[in-house]
Structure 1
Amino acid sequence: MAQVKRGVRASVGAVSTTTASVLPIFLTGGLAVQISAELGFDPAGLGLVVALFFGVSAFASLPCGWVVERYGSGPTSRIAVLGAAVVMACVALFARSYGALVTILLCSAWCNVLGQLSSNLTLARYVPANRLGLSFGIKQAAIPLATLLAGASVPAVALTWGWRWAYGIGAGLALAALLVAPRDTAGHSPIPATPGERATGALSVIGVAAGLAAASSSALGIFLVASAVDRGIDAGAAGLTLTLGSVVGLVLRLLHGWAADRRSGGHIAVVAASLV
C-alpha cells in the first residue's frame, strides 16, 4: 500500500511539474493572435521564438540532467515550477515589445528541461516497474494538458480580460503546483551501467525519430490557433479546437501507457510503428 501511495504521489507530482514547466511556450502559441496584435510580430516571429526556445532547451539538456542527478528530483522539480511561474508573471507584467517577449521566454527554456528530467527521474525511482507504462503515459499527458489550458484560455480569458491575464493565471496555477511537486531531497551519484544495460544504436535511432515526432506535434499545438485564425476561423473557435485536440491526445497517451504495462515485450516495435 505504501508503495502504491508513493507511486500515485510521484505521478501527480510529475504531471504537475511537467505541465507547469511547458505552459509558458504553449500559452504563447495559443495566445499568439492576441499577443501579436499588441506587440506587432508576424507568424515568422512566432516561429523564431519557438525555434529559439527549443534550441536553448536542447543545449540545456545535458547540464540540467547532471543537476537533476546531483541534487535529486524534488528540489529541481520545485525550482522548475517556481521558475515557470516567475517567467509567466514577467511576461504578463514586462513583455511590452517582441524583443522583451523573446528574452523572457528564452529564460524559461531551462525550466522546461529541468521539469521534464526531474519528472522522469521521479517516476523511474518511485513507481513500480509493472506500472511504469501507465505512469509515463500520465506524465506525457501533461503536454496535451498544457495545450488544453492554452486553448481554453483563448475564449475564457484572452478574449474577455486580455492575454496578459492568461499568463497571470498560469503563474498562479504553477505556484499551486508546488503543493504537489515531488519532495525527494536526496541526490544520487550516477551508477555505471553494465554492458547489457547500455544504450544501443537502435535506441539512438528511436530517440532521434521521437525527437522529430515531438517537433511536429509541438509545432501543431503552438501554431494551430494562429494558423486557423489566419484562415478565417474565429479565435474562440480556434482555441476550442486546440482544446478538443488536446483531449484526444491526452486520452491516447493514457491508453498507450496502460497497454504498455500489459505487454510482455516488443515495446520498441510498438514505438517504431507509432512513429511511422
Structure 2
Amino acid sequence: MRIGRLGAEGARDARLMLSASALTALGALPPFLLGAQAVRVRPELGIGLGVLGAAVSTFFAAAALGSFAAGPVFDRTGRRVAVAAAGGFVALGGGLMAALVRGPVSLLATMVVLGLGNACCQSASNSSMARALAPSRRGLGFGVKQSAVQFAIMVGGVAVPTLGRWLGWRSTFATSAAVGALVVALALVRVPAGRAAPVAATGAVDRPPWAPLLVSGVAIMFASAAANFIGSFIASWGFEVGLSTTATGLLMAAGSAASIAVRVFAGWRADRRHGANLPRVAAQMFAGALCLVGVAWGVPWAVVVFGFLAFAVGWSWPGLLLFAVARVGRDSPAQASGVIQAGAFVGGAAGPLLLGTMAGAVGFRPTWLVAAGLFVVAGVLVLVSRRGFRADLVARPPREPLTWGGGRVEPSGPRG
C-alpha cells in the first residue's frame, strides 16, 4: 500500500513539474522566437540590432514589473485565475505579433503584452511548485522548471528551419497564441479554483540575511544579462560569420537541449548532498565566460562548438542558484527566491538592450568579450554571497536546521 502511495505521489510530482515547466516555457518563448528569426524579422519590420535588443529588453522589463503585481493578486484569486491570465496574455500577444506588428512601435508595444504574459506564467508555475511539490524532490523540481527557458530557446531554434521557413516568422507567434488559448480553456476546465490557504502565524519570522541575498540578486543580474544576450544574438552572430540560418537555429536547439539535461542533472544531484551548491553555480558562470571568449573568436566551427558549450554549461546555473538561495531562505524561501527572480528579470531587460546596442556600434567580437566579463563578475559575486550566507548561519543558527537537499535531516555544519 505504501509503495503504491509513493508511486502515486511520484507521478503527481512529475505531472506538476512538467506542467509548471510547460507554462514557464510558453511565457519565456517570445524573445527567443524573435532572436532566432532576426534575419527575417529585421528586414520586414525595418529595424536594426538596437531595436531588436530594445524589444527583448522591453519584454523582460514588463515581466519584471508585472511579477511584482501578479504574486499578490494571484494569492487572492487562486491558481485557476493565474493560469487563465497567463494563457490569455500569451494568446493576445502572439495574435498581435502575428497579425498587427508592422514596425518598431507596434513591436515594442506587443512585447510589453508578451512580457506581462511571462510574469503571469512565472507566478502561476512558481505557485504550483511551492504549494504542491514534495520537499524530497525540490532540487530536481527547480532544475526541471528552470530548464523550461532552455526548452523555449530550443523551440525557437527548431521553429526557424521548420514552421518559420515554410509559413513565415509570423506563423510561429500565431502558433504560440493558439497554445495560449488552449491554456485558458484548460484552466477553466481542469485547474482547481480554490484560494491559497493563509499562512499560519507562528511567532517571529526567521528572515533570510539581506546582505548576501542582495549580492546574489546582483550576481544573477549580471549573469542573466550575458546569458540573454547569448539567446538573443547568437543566431545573428553565427549568420554574420558564415553559418546558415538553419545551422544557427539548430545550434540554438542543440545547445538548449544540452542545457536542459545539465540543469536537470544538477538539480537531481542537489537533492543528494548537504549544500555546497553556490560554488558549483560560480564554476558554471566561469565556464560560460570561457565559452564566450571562444565565441568571440568568430571562426564558424568555434561559434558552433563554444556556442553549444555556452548554452550547455555556461547557462546551466539558474535552477541550482534558485534552489540554493531558497534553501537558506529560512522561513521565507519565496521571498528569498523572489529577489533572485527580480535580478534575473532586470538582467534580462538590460543585457540585450545594452549589449545589442554595443554590438550595433562596435561589432559583435568586443561585445562577446564584455559579456564574458559579466559572467566573471557574476561568479565572483556568487562566491562573495556564499561567504555571507555561511557567516550568517554561524552567527544566527536557523530555527529549523538545514537538511540535505532532499529533505533528509543530517547533522552537519553550515556548508552553503
TM-score by length of 1: 0.91
CA contact (8 A) 2:47 2:103 kept: no
Query: Per the alignment, do residues 74 and 273 of structure 1 end up closer, same or farther by CA in structure 2, a change over 3 Å counting?
Result: farther
Partner of 1:61: 67
Unaligned ranges ≥5, structure 2: 286-378, 380-416
Aligned-CA RMSD value: 2.2
Partner of 2:159: 153
Partner of 1:233: 243
Between 8-17 and 202-211, report the one with greater CA deviation: 202-211
When Rg is computed on C-alpha atoms for both structures, the one with the higher figure is: 2
Separation (CA, whole Å) in 1 of partners of 2:97 and 2:24? 19
**Aligned residue among 236, 250, 259 for 1:249:** 259
Separation (CA, whole Å) in 2 of partners of 1:5 and 1:217? 33
**Aligned residue among 93, 104, 120 for 1:98:** 104
Separation (CA, whole Å) in 2 of partners of 1:196 and 1:19? 33
Partner of 2:194: 186
**Aligned residue among 72, 75, 83 for 2:78:** 72
CA contact (8 A) 1:78 1:178 kept: yes
**Aligned residue among 19, 24, 28 for 1:13:** 19
Query: Per the alignment, do residues 15 and 128 of structure 1 end up closer, same or farther by CA in structure 2, a change over 3 Å counting?
Result: same
Structure 1 residue 259 corresponds to structure 2 residue 265: no
CA contact (8 A) 2:45 2:102 kept: yes
Give the SS at the match of 2:274: coil
Between 165-174 and 83-92, report the one with greater CA deviation: 165-174
Separation (CA, whole Å) in 1 of partners of 2:200 and 2:53? 40
Separation (CA, whole Å) in 2 of partners of 1:191 and 1:266? 31
Q: When the two structures are aligned, how many residues end up with a matched partner?
A: 276
Partner of 1:134: 140
Shift of 1:200: 3.5
Shift of 1:212: 2.3
Letter in 2 for 1:63: A
CA contact (8 A) 2:80 2:191 kept: yes
Partner of 1:110: 116
CA contact (8 A) 1:134 1:257 kept: yes
Between 150-159 and 64-73, report the one with greater CA deviation: 64-73
Structure 1 residue 82 corresponds to structure 2 residue 120: no
Q: Show the 5 A alignment for 1:38-49.
A: 38-49=44-55
Letter in 2 for 1:241: L
Give CA deviations for 1:29-61 in whole Å, capped at 9, x if unaligned: 111111111111111110111122212222222
Name which structure has the greater RCO, CA cutoff 8 Å, separation 6+. Answer: 1
Shift of 1:192: 6.5
CA contact (8 A) 2:56 2:111 kept: no
Separation (CA, whole Å) in 1 of partners of 2:138 and 2:256? 22
Give the SS at the match of 1:107: helix
Query: Per the alignment, do residues 253 and 145 of structure 1 end up closer, same or farther by CA in structure 2, a change over 3 Å counting?
Result: same
Give CA deviations for 1:132-178 in whole Å, capped at 9, x if unaligned: 11111111111010000101111112222211112122223334455
Unaligned ranges ≥5, structure 1: none
Separation (CA, whole Å) in 2 of partners of 1:48 and 1:191? 44
Letter in 2 for 1:187: R
TM-score by length of 2: 0.62
Letter in 2 for 1:28: L
Partner of 1:224: 234
CA contact (8 A) 1:22 1:112 kept: yes
